Amino acid sequence: MMSSAWLIPLLPLAAFLLLVAFGRQLKESSAYIGILATLAAFVLALGTFFERFAAGAENYYFAFQWLTFGEKVIDMGFEVNQLNAMMLVIVTFVSLLVHIYSKGYMHGDERFPVFYSYLALFTFSMLGLVISPNLLQVYIFWELVGVCSFLLVGFYFYKPEAKAAAKKAFIVTRIGDVGLFIGISLIFWYTGSFNFADIFTALQNGVMESWQITLVGILIFIGAVGKSGQFPLHTWLPDAMEGPTPVSALIHAATMVAAGVYLVAVMFPLYQASVDASLVVAYIGGFTAIFAASIGLTQRDIKRVLAYSTVSQLGYMMLALGMASVAGYVAGTFHLMTHAFFKALLFLAAGSVIHAVHTQDIFEMGGLFKKMRITGTVFLIGCLSIAGIFPFAGYWSKEEILGAVYNEGHLGLFAVGVIAAFFTAFYMFRLFFATFTGESADDTKKVHESPLVMTVPMILLAVLAVVAGFINTPGNPILGHWLTEGMAGAEEAHHAPFWISIVATLVSLFGIFLAWLMYGKKSVARDVIAAPFPWLYQLSYRKYYIDELYDNVIVRPLRVFGEFLTMVDVYIIDGLVKLVGAFTKELGHAGARVQNGQIQTYGVIAFLGIVLLVIGLTFGRGYLG
């Protein structure tokens, strides 16, 4: 099964091609093509995963020569290793569920087949990224994924906000991609290959000097910062919520933004070899975790809160990977998996709510639990999971992260992680209580539960959000051991002290309790912090004015520069071209003046001609002497 892993991305690609060709005739039946393709891909992915998971399995690698320059060869191919196999299952599963869900959510949309074709293209790109065996292939699929994100975020292109958000997403991630591209080029220059295996061998043989390793590590991380929405390139993710909610669930929660984390995880030996680069990863991750969480505290749009939550959780993953320890690696990738499940669940549930009440402002909702029991229950499960409450999946992965951070001795980052966990619990339950409990803000609206095609995927994800944590508990770290087979330093990693899980749980419970007081029971005023410190509230609500900062410092000057260059183009370059034209025209005018039908003019011309002739003959080889 592992040898046919190359089929996994090709099935959604086939669906994309079919949908592009026949989508218009199929209309809403296009959903079946997309669902079938992703279902088949999921089955194949499961098969591949179990084959790799079996005891004694080896990595599978296949490549063919694509380009040759001199002695340098660039391959294309695919490989299956532990991380890949896990990612294949996650991506195909979430994609399958989103495909099924979208049949209900996008029902009635005119561009229904177009949506499914974009979804299929995205699934193909993400799966291709995940099985790439070399950096160049990763970069190709990385860009493809960015394009699909642009297409899907800008799906409602007739809305100017959606158009702007799509452009913003693409341009901001592009900035990260520049760093990634430079990093990839440098790696090729230093080690002579794009292949991961070759790069890691070169690392072990000490081919690269330490400053080179650090430089490459930071550059590749810049690419991850762009794609995974870390500070300072996080601004596109909340705006990308302009896209349809299934898109947010698939791309901006579970898969595309995970590509950055995946890249850092794949290049893990590089980060193990450079302390500075991994510190950069850890600090940016940790800062982003608390920074985004602090913004999520005040947002009113349900999808924005979830978007900032995604940014924050990705920060956690980067923090874990930045520890450059085996425990950190396991924690980061484990959290990637659990986050994919509970965040997709939360987004799908939010979509179900939006579908029902046609608003995204949580303070216009309320009392929805009575009317939407399934959605409410699964949303609660998602919240409990992300807040890290025992025994849900998020508890195990968050505890691993905090433990890994503590074990490496980064007490400052550990404190940041704990505070961010408090914020996480608080804002998630603020969302839950404001949306589902209390009285409805508007009783006249008829609200009903979503159809089966939308609730079944949510229920499946909810089940996973509960049980997925059990494959890597401290007492029985099956996933951890499997992921780190053959990795340097994978011996019995020391477990974190037990008090960490107690502290984390207490902090989360306190966050939930505070949210309940403020939004559930409403016994504490909502603005208990905002009223005495309005500037704090403003800073958080206005996203620390980062968008305004970027607008004034970067966008406007660039635009002025662009206008200046336009002037140069219009006046100088076009001016030169027009000058040539004008010159010829004037020459023509002068010639026309000569042809005026008057004999005397012709006589003058004839006389001038004779004079010129005589001069020419005299000073030439004419009648001289």
Partner 1 sequence: MTVPLASYLLVALILFCIGLYGALTKRNAVIVMLSMELMLNAVNINLVAFAKFGAFANLTGQIFSLFSITLAAAEVAVGLAILISLYRNRRTVNVDEMDLLKR
Stretch that binds partner 1, among 60-68, 382-390, 577-585, 603-611 (CB under 8 A): 603-611
**Cβ contacts of 621 within 8 Å, gap of 6 or more:** none
Q: Is 389 left (phi over 0), alpha (psi -120 to 50) or beta?
A: beta
Phi and psi at residue 215, to the nearest 5°:
-60, -50
CB under 8 Å to 414, separation ≥6 — which residues? 402, 405, 406
The residues that bridge with 288 in the sheet, in sequence order, are none
| CB of 498 or CB of 607, closer to partner 1 | 607
The residue type of 367 is: G
Phi, psi angle pair for 491, to nearest 5°:
-70, 180
Q: Which stretch binds partner 1 (CB under 8 A): 167-175, 263-271, 490-498, 601-609?
A: 601-609
Both structure tokens of 291: 């920074």
- Say how many residues touch partner 1, by CB under 8 A: 9
**In the complex, what is the shortest distance from the CB of residue 572 to partner 1, in angstroms, rounded to a whole number?**
40
DSSP state, residue 553: I
Tell me: does residue 598 bind partner 1 (CB under 8 A).
Answer: yes
From the CB of 615, what's the least distance to partner 1, in Å?
A: 16
Contacting range for partner 1; rule: CB under 8 A; set: 64-72, 226-234, 247-255, 590-598: 590-598
- Please report how close the Cβ of residue 601 comes to partner 1 at its closest, in angstroms: 9
Do 305 and 296 contact (CB within 8 A), yes or no? yes
**Which residue stretch of 19-27, 361-369, 533-541, 589-597 sits at the interface with partner 1 (rule: CB under 8 A)?**
589-597
- At 157, list the tokens: 């292109």
Closest to partner 1 by CB, 573 vs 614, is 614
By CB under 8 A, is residue 599 in contact with partner 1? yes
- Looking at the Cβ atoms of 68 and 600, the one nearer to partner 1 is 600
Q: How far is the CB of 617 from partner 1 (least distance, A)?
A: 19
Of 257-265, 407-415, 504-512, 597-605, the segment contacting partner 1 by CB under 8 A is 597-605
Residue 580 CA to residue 597 CA, distance in Å, equals 29
Minimum CB distance to partner 1 smaller for 3 or for 595: 595
My answer on whether omega of the bond before 391 falls inside 30° of 0, hence cis, is yes
Distance in Å, CB of 623 to partner 1, minimum: 15
User: Closer CB to partner 1, residue 489 or residue 603?
Assistant: 603
> Look-up: residue for tokens 């425990």?
327
Q: What gap in Å lies between CA 250 and CA 96, rounded to an integer?
A: 10
- Specify the stretch interacting with partner 1 by CB under 8 A; choose among 316-324, 459-467, 564-572, 599-607: 599-607
Cβ 589 to partner 1 shortest distance, Å: 15
Determine which residue in the list 160, 409, 597, 620 makes contact with partner 1, applying CB under 8 A: 597
Nearer to partner 1, 603 or 616 (CB): 603
CB of residue 607 to partner 1, shortest distance in Å:
7
Q: How far is the CB of 597 from partner 1 (least distance, A)?
A: 3
DSSP 134: B
| Chain residues 491-520 in contact with partner 1, contact rule CB under 8 A | none
Window contacting partner 1 (CB under 8 A); options: 50-58, 60-68, 471-479, 596-604: 596-604
Distance CA 579, CA 442 (A): 68
**Sequence letter at residue 84:** N
Q: Is 572 in the site for partner 1 (CB under 8 A)?
A: no
Element (H, E) at 154: none
Task: Tell me: does residue 523 bind partner 1 (CB under 8 A).
Answer: no
Q: How far is the CB of 600 from partner 1 (least distance, A)?
A: 5
Q: Is 600 in the site for partner 1 (CB under 8 A)?
A: yes
By C-alpha distance, which of 210, 331, 318, 338 is closest to 274?
A: 210
Helices and strands: H and E segment counts in the chain: 27, 2
* 625 touches partner 1 by CB under 8 A: no
Residue 363, classed as helix, strand or coil, is: helix
Among positions 25, 444, 523, 596, the unique one binding partner 1 when judged by CB under 8 A: 596
* Cβ neighbours, 10 Å, residue 144: 17
Taking the least distance from each CB to partner 1, the nearer of 55 and 599 is: 599
Nearer to partner 1, 171 or 606 (CB): 606
For residues 579 and 51, give the distance between their C-alpha atoms in angstroms, rounded to a whole number: 72
172 neighbors 178 (Cβ within 8 angstroms) = no
Secondary structure string (H, E, C) spanning 52-73 = HHCCCCCCEEEEEEEEEECCEE
Least Å distance, CB 568 to partner 1, is 44
* Phi, psi (degrees; rounded to nearest 5) at 68: -130, 130
Kindly state the smallest distance separating residue 566's Cβ from partner 1, in Å: 45
Q: Among residues 485, 607, 612, 617, which is the contact residue for partner 1, using CB under 8 A?
A: 607
Q: Does 603 bind partner 1 (CB under 8 A)?
A: yes
Question: How many angstroms separate the CA atoms of 547 and 111, rounded?
Answer: 31
In the region spanning residues 164 to 203, those forming contacts with partner 1, defined by CB under 8 A, are none
Applying CB under 8 A, the span of 252-260, 267-275, 571-579, 600-608 interacting with partner 1 comes to: 600-608
What DSSP state is assigned to residue 108?
Answer: T
Q: Which residues bind partner 1 (CB under 8 A)?
A: 595-600, 603-604, 607
